[in-house]
Chains A and B, each alone.
Chain A
Amino acid sequence: MSETIIETKGLLKNYKGRAAVKDLNLNIRKGEIYGFLGPNGAGKTTTIRLLLGLIAPSAGTIEIFGKDLRHEKMNILRKVGSLVESPSYYGHLTAIQNLEAIRRILNVPKSRISEVLDIVSLTGEEKRPVKGFSLGMKQRLGIASALLGNPELLILDEPTNGLDPSGIQEIRDLIKRMPQEHGITVLVSSHLLSEIELMANTVGILHQGSMVYQDSITNLQQRAAGEMRLVVSEPEMALSFVENRGYTGVLQNGTLCFTRMNDTTVAQLVKVLVEKGHAIYRVEERRQSLEEFFLQVVGGVSHD
């Protein structure tokens, strides 16, 4: 079992009597990419601000690198790179000046600036005032700032917000490389299941301030699996036929629904139906949306 990087116990944050985060027990291990998932307002950003000491918890403890955040904030933050909510920047300064201001506080060599600019592919734009940057470029600059101090822990709040598809791909690859190449642990938040699925190896789902689900991404994928839907002629007959052959499915509004299956199984299923003389109008995979999965998870919790 590898060492724990972030551990919170009974974390609580009240805003005017309403709990934005309640009884949160996080456990993030070294080298992990931990995906923090939840709809807007679920408490992701509040949790991240708590972890960075930007706001004080109403109750509970936070330990990062095994140290208490309240007592050793400076030592902890020295090893943490972060990007909270929308990208932070000084609009009147150029990208280099923005990074230089941070570099002076972190006390890292000047060469680090061109290194991080290169990592986020901002080279060539570094001498323009940042207020003229597109949202995607500001986002990259924010990630560059987070990387500047060679952090051991990277906390990125919605890092792909406002990026175009190729930018999203690039940042995603960058995040995935972090644990392998630099041994960095990453906490990344998103409101998109598909986003987290492609990056993280562990996922925690927040709903109304509480952790409703925390597991490996593989297990999540099984739980949140989509279904195969077939529209065929004479669906009742088709269903009883394939059920005899070991497939389990249900009939919904004239559509045959099966749990998610691999390509070979789908091919076989279609083949037997065709051979039996059924016309196949449509074969589609329907993936559960995050909202549906949420409802399922949240519903599951309330039944427990």
Chain B
Amino acid sequence: MRTLGRVLSAEIVKMSSRYLWLLILASPAFAVLIGMSQSEEGPISWEFILSVMGAIHGMLFLPILSGLFTALLCRYEHHNGGWKQLLSLPVSRGSVYLSKFIVAAVLLAAVQLLFLVCFLGVGWWREAGGPPPWEMVLPRILGSWLATLPLAALQLAVSQAWSSFAAPLALNVTFTIPNMLVANSTTYGPYYPWVQPLIAMSPYGADGNFGALNLPLESLMIVVLGSFVLFFTAGLLSFRRKAV
């Protein structure tokens, strides 16, 4: 694991591609547009702002970005023999795989941070009542980030295995689109990994009654942790045996 730091630092050099930074901006920017345009009867509440801004962000952007980031991180290795060169250097395959995952997780965290800033900005601009509701928003930002990690793990697993850039993304979108339906289902919602970021983001937690959106955070995290362990282990095992 001593090589992990070095592999990570090499990863940062390789990432100097402008697309990545644009992707971080995309979802929060879109959320700002929605947050500014939607209106509610009576005074605007922080909960309302989070629910409108977080809906598309949690339902579509977070799952899709998890696939885009991992696909981009593998793309330049698939092209022109990057894996070959990287893996014939003194690095363990485990540290290479882990470093890719860490970079994807950090990029997703950057998206979440920017989303938080945008959320606070929109709330302040639209004069939502009271001070920023830290107890409500911080667990939701963190929770939906954690709920995205299993998806990133699965996407990394398929992106390292398939040299095509589009195939993992197609798989990702295929699983993400049903979110719109699954979110409203109390039967499937709690177990469908792709919808967990949305559930974790929803401000109408335990007291609300909105399909699967009223699950306690604890039970949600069990599904998240379970799918993460499964996807990450499968990906790592496959990468360690990968013929390059």
Bound together:
yes
| Stretch of B48-56, B77-85, B146-154 that contacts chain A | B77-85
With A and B bound together, what is the CA distance between A52 and B90 in angstroms? 10
Do A88 and B89 have beta carbons less than 8 Å apart? no
Indicate if A1 sits at the interface (CB-CB under 8 A): no
Given the contacts A54-B88, A54-B244, A105 and B7 also touching, CB distance less than 8 Å: yes
Interface class of chain B by DSSP = helix
B3 and A105 contacting across the interface, CB-CB below 8 Å: yes
Whether B91 is near chain A, meaning CB under 8 Å from some CB there, is yes
Q: Is the CB of B81 within 8 A of A91?
A: no
- A91 x B10 contact (CB < 8 A): no
- B12-20, B130-138, B211-219: which lies at the interface: B12-20
Q: Quick one: which of A76-126 are within 8 Å of B by CB?
A: 77-78, 80, 82, 84-93, 97, 100-102, 104-107
B45 CB, nearest partner CB in chain A, Å: 45
**B87-126 interface code vs A (CB 8 A; 1 in, 0 out):** 1111110000000000000000000000000000000000
Residues of A within 8 A of B86 (CB): 105
Q: Which of B14, B84, B91, B92 contacts A90 (CB 8 A)?
A: B14
Contact B13 A54 (CB under 8 A): no
Interface centre among A52, A75, A90, A149 (most CB of B within 10 A): A90
A145 near B81 (CB under 8 angstroms)?
Answer: no
Contacts of A107 in B (CB 8 A): 6
Check A93 against B14 for contact (C-beta < 8 Å): yes
Chain B residues within an 8 Å CB radius of A278: none
A266 within 8 A of B: no
Output the least CB separation between A133 and chain B (Å). 11
A82 vs B88: C-alpha distance in the bound complex, in angstroms? Answer: 7
- Measured CB to CB, the residues of B under 8 A from A are 3, 6-7, 9-10, 13-14, 16-17, 76, 79-82, 84-92, 241, 243-244
Chain A residues close to B by CB (< 8 Å): 49, 52-56, 73-75, 77-78, 80, 82, 84-93, 97, 100-102, 104-107, 145, 149
Top 9 closest pairs, chain A to chain B, by CB: A88-B81, A88-B85, A78-B90, A54-B244, A77-B90, A101-B13, A52-B88, A104-B10, A101-B10
- 7 A-B pairs with C-beta separation under 8 A: A82-B88, A84-B85, A101-B14, A102-B10, A104-B9, A105-B10, A105-B86
